[in-house]
Amino acid sequence: QLQCHRITLHKNLFFSFVCSGVTIIAYETVIMHDTITSPDPIKDRNKAGCKIIMILSKYFRITNYMWMFCEGYYLHKLIASAFHEQKNLVVFYLIGW
């Protein structure tokens, strides 16, 4: 059964890992590399774009930790109440994202 709550939590966790990796790679390649090689870096020319990339990279890094917390909390809830299944994951989505 691939449509259970545990798999859904894993999908969100790995999607946050992918988003974090993409934004960190974008930040490193576009901003940091240009800062090192260019006398007129992009961060001086495009302040709003650099801030958006930086905010997104920090946001997705935080979502990685929050989804790890959600996975641990879900595991705790499964162990604490072994015979009651979690009905919906709305709370986990709000905490994770």
Query: What range does the domain containing 56 cover?
Result: 5-96
Closest residue by Cα to residue 14 from 71, 76, 95: 71
Give the integer Cα–Cα distance in Å for 3 and 8: 7
Q: What is the pLDDT of residue 21?
A: 93
How many independent structural domains does the chain possess? 1
Residue 47 is predicted with a pLDDT of 73
pLDDT at 85: 66
Lowest mean per-residue pLDDT among 7-21, 38-52, 58-72, 74-88: 38-52
Per-residue pLDDT of 9-49, as tens digits, reads 889 899 999 999 999 898 888 777 666 666 665 656 667 77
- Residue 38's pLDDT is 66
Helices (H), strands (E): how many in the chain?
5, 0
Q: What is the mean pLDDT of residues 55-60?
A: 91
